[in-house]
Amino acid sequence: MDTLIAHLRDADPTPAAVPDLGAWLGRVQARDVADALTEGFAADRLGYAFVAGYLAATRALFGEPGALCATEAGGGHPRAIQATLTREREGWRLDGHKTFVTLGAQAPRLFVVARTERGEVDGRPELVVARLGPDTPGVRLAPGPATPFVPEIPHATVAFDGAPVEALPGDGYADFLKPFRTIEDLYVHAALVGHAIALTRRGGGDPAPLLALVPTLLALAAADPKAPATHLALDAALRAGRAGLEGVPWANLDADTQARWRRDRPLLDVARRAREARLARAQPG
């Protein structure tokens, strides 16, 4: 941890020179929360920091980076999921649609939440996660429109037509879909904290309050993502990190960096209601 903090405190905060997202993906390691911090530190924009954190989050949950595909036309609630996994003699087949795939065709892997043939068990859908590559036969990705913020991050819709897949062991909801929001918030937030440290130093500000978050972020990465105590501690860290980003001496930074911040700031409010609901459930009593 001391080496990590020293790097964030003392290394050159000039961002890495990368021409596009493909080049950024080529340098991102996304192995753990420390990588999320250092790669966020190296990013020249909020969107690239997000990508580093997102890929680290998927690696933490699935063992390798990729995109979690859950949302369908009816939303992301388990009962809205209609994509279906069918067992065949030679393995598993996936059919259905997903409406939002982060990174689109540039995602290294797709982790798709789907129903089993059994439908509902004990009154709720039996869900599993299917693993496959974006270039698997039977997969059709269609690019989505750029978002008004972090437009560098592509998104796509995807259709599966008998795509051969690997079914991951475990409950698709309890073991994967439910904890992912917490894991994603932690790792993406770590990348944004690293990014804010670099911006603060480039602007001549004091990074000490942000550096003080590093031990908490490392500890949270080892905590149970389903535990209420983890949710309470994560909320406090999210609030402190957001305050750090808001407190960057933006006026001392170049015009392009300031313009990207104004454009990309809405990223911080994505899934805000879900976080508020998680915090409310975690409150004692």
Taking only the tens place, the pLDDT of each residue in 230-276 is: 999 999 999 999 998 888 999 999 999 999 999 999 999 998 899 98
Query: Nearest Cα to 201, choosing from 211, 186, 216?
Result: 211
CA–CA dist 203, 195 (Å, integer): 12
Question: What is residue 217's predicted lDDT score, i.e. its pLDDT?
Answer: 98
Given a cut of 70, is residue 174 above it in pLDDT? Answer: yes
Given a cut of 80, is residue 183 above it in pLDDT? Answer: yes
Mean pLDDT calculated for residue range 82-104: 95
Question: What is residue 155's predicted lDDT score, i.e. its pLDDT?
Answer: 97
Class assignment of domain 67-171? mainly beta
90 falls in which pLDDT band (50, 70, 90)? Answer: confident
Mean pLDDT calculated for residue range 198-218: 97
Start-end of H helices in the chain: 2-10, 21-27, 33-42, 46-62, 178-202, 208-211, 214-221, 228-246, 255-264, 272-282
Q: At what angle do helices 178-202 and 46-62 cross, to 10 degrees?
A: 140
Question: What is residue 119's predicted lDDT score, i.e. its pLDDT?
Answer: 67
- The contacts of residue 164 (CB under 8 Å, 6+ apart) are 90, 91, 92, 93, 94, 132, 136, 137, 138
Structure confidence by residue, pLDDT tens digits, 133-163: 999 999 999 999 999 999 999 999 999 999 9
Given a cut of 70, is residue 95 above it in pLDDT? Answer: yes
Query: Nearest Cα to 114, choosing from 94, 134, 89?
Result: 94
Look over the chain and give the mean of its residue pLDDT values, rounded to a whole number.
Answer: 95
Would you state the structure tokens that stand for residue 230, as one six-digit string?
């983890």
Q: Domain segments of the chain: what residues?
A: 2-62+176-282, 67-171
76 falls in which pLDDT band (50, 70, 90)? Answer: confident
